[in-house]
Chain A
């Protein structure tokens, strides 16, 4: 099969070192997974996730710190709420909500990251291509 799902991963500062850790420890993750590093998962504008879908992502993954590891208010909880709202929105308009996931990844969990990403990639492969951008432009 030639089609490979394109997955965008928004990683917060801490979980991005978890992604690095995956490399250090010799774990691999597929090349069609593109990571975007942001200072904190709570600054990810949900519109950017939507835009990623429109620009051709088949799935979007948000990785954030475990709420229990944060000191005060948990920005991860904010992100979690936003992702849950966005999943509801995707379901309403008829896009499979499993194309958007949130993952708790700490800076030392490289193996967890590579394992979870491969699992999610397999699921997205089963869901098939999304192609929102194309279906919005085509006439009909």
Chain B
């Protein structure tokens, strides 16, 4: 058990003993992999772990726990998605206790039939600019270097997006894993054949992916939850990163960096001549 884990557990124990929060969202071991867990009793804190396999974005659960006081273990990107959720009025900052953990990057989760062998730092972590969450009530320092990269092959630089999209199963794992995909009426998930029909595969995969990209543009915090959840390993975050770049170039805006910064579509100003 690392020092960071010890510190994390003592913070969570204190929070639960003082009844500051009803439950804490964290990570636990499940066999040899890590999965999200919900801790609500002080004696359960021994389950909590924190290491480079914790790729889940726990902020995804916050909306369904809206009426309760929850604590959440948050990496840098998870913290950014909490900021976005607060800005979009989906959760109340006052009812969330953010336990920020310093993150040095996570490994790509193992998948059967995957092309990569060995543990490899996720591609989106190579692009990461926020090691620590922008909002934090407690901070757990990890220290040390980025996790050991056992595979020296650089990021999978597939550029043929059309054939990548063709692999998609429309399983909606990316939508479900994303903390910011929360619309009750999703335009790409329905069974009404208007824009995208859930059962029409592989037709409409182009519309499916571009629509999701457009809906995430300027909102995606590049946490990589969608990419890691995808069973066929489509590097979705790289696509959304490009659109975020467009927002950075045109409006100087990056999603989830501060609570006071309004998203560009809200403060859209006309300007220039035709």
A: which residues have CB within 8 A of B? 46-48, 50-51, 53-54, 66-68, 73-74, 76-78, 81, 84-86, 88-89, 92-94, 104, 132-133, 135-137, 140
A53–B207 Cα distance when bound, in Å, is 9
Interface string of B192-236 (1 = CB under 8 A from A): 000100000011111100110110010000000000000000000
User: How distant is A139 from chain B, measured CB to nearest CB, in Å?
Assistant: 9
Question: Does more than half of chain B's interface fall in helix, strand or loop, or is it mixed?
Answer: helix
Cβ–Cβ < 8 Å partners of A67 in chain B: 270, 272-274
Q: Which of B48-56, B115-123, B239-247 contacts A (4 or more CB under 8 A)?
A: B239-247
Instruction: Assess the B166–A136 pair: CB atoms within 8 A.
Output: yes
A-B Cβ contacts below 8 A, count = 88
Instruction: Assess the A136–B202 pair: CB atoms within 8 A.
Output: yes
A133–B166 Cα distance when bound, in Å, is 11
Instruction: Assess the B165–A89 pair: CB atoms within 8 A.
Output: no
Q: Knowing A81-B268, A136-B162, say if A89 contacts B207 (CB, 8 Å).
A: no
Q: Does B137 contact A (CB under 8 A)?
A: no
User: How distant is B136 from chain A, measured CB to nearest CB, in Å?
Assistant: 32
Partner of B161, one of A68, A76, A94: A94
Q: Knowing A47-B210, A51-B195, A88-B242, say if A133 contacts B203 (CB, 8 Å).
A: yes
Cβ–Cβ < 8 Å partners of B268 in chain A: 73, 77-78, 81
Instruction: Assess the B243–A89 pair: CB atoms within 8 A.
Output: yes
Q: Does B159 contact A (CB under 8 A)?
A: yes
User: How distant is B249 from chain A, measured CB to nearest CB, in Å?
Assistant: 9
Cβ–Cβ < 8 Å partners of B213 in chain A: 89
A67–B187 Cα distance when bound, in Å, is 30
Cβ–Cβ < 8 Å partners of A46 in chain B: 211, 214
Cβ–Cβ < 8 Å partners of B165 in chain A: 93, 136
Instruction: Assess the B243–A88 pair: CB atoms within 8 A.
Output: yes
User: How distant is B188 from chain A, measured CB to nearest CB, in Å?
Assistant: 8
Q: Does B160 contact A (CB under 8 A)?
A: yes
A133–B205 Cα distance when bound, in Å, is 9
B168 closest partner in A (C-beta):
A136
Instruction: Assess the B206–A50 pair: CB atoms within 8 A.
Output: yes
A74–B272 Cα distance when bound, in Å, is 11
Instruction: Assess the B206–A53 pair: CB atoms within 8 A.
Output: yes
Instruction: Assess the A93–B274 pair: CB atoms within 8 A.
Output: no
